[in-house]
Structure 1
């Protein structure tokens, strides 16, 4: 949406400047940014397809940290075929092991695809903080639905990873959270 507004605003500005200078030449390559051009000869370049805003990044291989610095998730994406999948690993950082000993419970309840809650892609699991919690998403089921759905290009994922200590320390039960929102390529 922002690209569309910026493109329309730029187009109007270019037309205004062209008319005001009485030079009705074609502005075939007016630079907007260092890596993009605007072409009045091909107005379809100015229009992006309807859909979700560009603010949501594509799912990509990488590491996603929790805000508290105690945990992180690594993602690996498979988008090279029609069989899309996301593999992930959830980790407690070694510097936070002492907060989650002897065990923690990890779950992915609250995960959504296209703003619909899905059955958890990872059942609750109790393990020591140095365990590699891992899994993948390829097929999912919307809560209350009866059909299985394959992950596809354009799906918006809201992945929620929760780690909660199974015992409290000085009356405090520690928890850590990583949330990732991304669009499947």
Structure 2
């Protein structure tokens, strides 16, 4: 298994980059978040990698952080989610945003990623629950997270942005019921 590469970045052709490691050029598929964080060609880079061996190819995937690679590995364990879809998810959401979406069970965030429909988003949230996002505050409290997710979805359906809705959720008392939470959140947003 190739777990990490350090070498000279010689080419960027999204979503693939080429890194020269002592005269050997490794083609590595990366999410857009990693691609945007890379330096110019000719600079030294270190990437955490995941090697996928298929019947027709050996494909190397690269990530800017170990957390991003761990999230990728959790994503490809979900039935029906391949490496390309996992890269798309990590291109559209940071690891923290993905963890928050899983903790709050927000299908809306995942469906904004190209190629992720409602059913796929629901499957992702179900299978990733407790695997990604459990380290966040409140990540283990499933009933509260479900209520918060319902409140958040209601605010999003009413046209409030992610940022406005998340800010309104932070001001709610712990364990508030959904109907009362929506009322309090709307009251806070009107101010």
TM-score by length of 1: 0.25
Instruction: Give 1 or 2: higher strand fraction.
Output: 1
TM-score by length of 2: 0.25
Instruction: Give 1 or 2: higher helix fraction.
Output: 2
Structure with greater contact order relative to length (CA < 8 Å, sep ≥ 6):
1
Which of these two proteins has the greater Rg computed from alpha carbons? 1
